[in-house]
Amino acid sequence: GDRSPVRRFNLNNVTITPDPIENQEVVLILTPMARFYQEYWDNLIKLDYPHELISLGFILPKNKEGNAATAALQAQVTKTQKGPLKDRFRSVVIERQDFDPPILSQDEGERHKIENQKARRSSMSRARNSLLFTTLGAETSWVLWLDADIIETPPSLIQDLAAHDKPLIVPNCYQRYTDPETGKPAERPYDFNSWQDSPTAQELASKMDPDDIILEGYREMATYRALMAYMADRVDERDVEVPLDGVGGTALLVKADVHRDGAMFPPFAFYNLIETEGFAKMAKRLGWAATGLPNYKVYHYNE
């Protein structure tokens, strides 16, 4: 049959600006997904960035849970893409992983055991990289990494983060819960992977095997890093920026040029860091610094 003519792209014409709506910039939202949460989808479709400028990419493991999540996701995608034009996304790609995740329960307790971290986060890195390298297009201006269990963000998340004009920018990921003492709604920090480095962590790394990784948020490994999770202080100052050395990927906006330059999620120890934290380090080596917004909150599902 006929082959399509050559498609030409001048990457200089793909702008990446603090006013992405005005400049019609395409945002690629990438989500690794082990479980489907309706609250994630409901929040996603409420994002008020023009949907015709949003491409979606998902990757799901090829196991029983992944099959169920794929079916649920597929149903919602179909509903949205057949719905009102203004709600439809530019494009949607759903991928199944071609490698097996480590045999671990997806329960929070098991997932977070320190001895499971290297295998788990290495596998997560490979899933993220597969998704990224198969979906990043010449037209992509921004990549928003958004975990499948982020169930609440401001609808203006994309514009708000992009307005800071930073190569990598990460809001603070919290979790709502009911305080057992008072019975009242409360919130607590969830993601500890956004941090500023410390002399203690550097010292730890200097004595480590190059294949070992430093993990954050574990009593067994006191790093004395400054965690963004604990820097939230003023609800009325959502635009306060802090420089970061490590980032979490629950919600993370990246200028597509950072990925195009080659920054990815190391599935191995990179400067004793792995996955999203290793990504921040790799971006830094390429000249792109990470920024955090301690008072700008997004919320993780409470299992």
- Span 262-301, contacts to ligand GDP by CB under 6 A: none
Is there binding between residue 148 and ligand GDP (CB under 6 A)? yes
> Which residues have a Cβ under 8 Å from the Cβ of 286 and sit 6 or more positions away?
258, 261, 262, 263
CB of 40 to Mn ion, least distance (A): 10
Is there binding between residue 25 and Mn ion (CB under 5 A)? no
Is there binding between residue 59 and ligand GDP (CB under 6 A)? yes
Is there binding between residue 101 and ligand GDP (CB under 6 A)? yes
Which DSSP string do the residues of 187-250 spell out, in sequence order?
EEE-----EE--HHHHHHHHTS-TT----SS-TTS----EEGGG----TT-TT--EEESB--SS
* Nearest alpha-carbon partner for 160 in 16, 301, 20, 300: 20
CB of 1 to ligand GDP, least distance (A): 34
Stretch touching ligand GDP by CB under 6 A, among 6-14, 54-62, 153-161, 212-220 = 54-62
From the list ligand GDP, Mn ion, none, which binds 171 (C-beta under 5 to 8 Å, kind-based)?
none
- Between 223 and 276, whose beta carbon lies closer to Mn ion? 276
Distance (Å, whole) CA 109 – CA 224:
23
- Between 187 and 257, whose beta carbon lies closer to Mn ion? 187
From the list Mn ion, ligand GDP, none, which binds 32 (C-beta under 5 to 8 Å, kind-based)?
ligand GDP
Residue spans of beta strands (DSSP E) within 72-179? 91-96, 140-146, 150-152, 168-178
Distance (Å, whole) CA 21 – CA 26:
9
From the list Mn ion, ligand GDP, none, which binds 61 (C-beta under 5 to 8 Å, kind-based)?
ligand GDP
∠ CA(101), CA(107), CA(110), 5° rounding? 80
- Between 36 and 270, whose beta carbon lies closer to ligand GDP? 36
Distance (Å, whole) CA 283 – CA 38:
33
Stretch touching Mn ion by CB under 5 A, among 17-25, 148-156, 207-215, 276-284 = 148-156
Q: Which of 80, 123, 129, 140 binds ligand GDP (CB under 6 A)?
A: 123
Query: What are the residues facing 142 on neighbouring strands?
Result: 27, 255
State the residue number with the nearest CB to ligand GDP: 101
From the list ligand GDP, Mn ion, none, which binds 201 (C-beta under 5 to 8 Å, kind-based)?
none
∠ CA(118), CA(121), CA(127), 5° rounding? 140
> Which residues have a Cβ under 8 Å from the Cβ of 202 and sit 6 or more positions away?
none
Q: Which residues bind ligand GDP (CB under 6 A)?
A: 32-35, 59-61, 97, 101, 111, 123-124, 127, 147-149
Q: Which residues bind Mn ion (CB under 5 A)?
A: 149
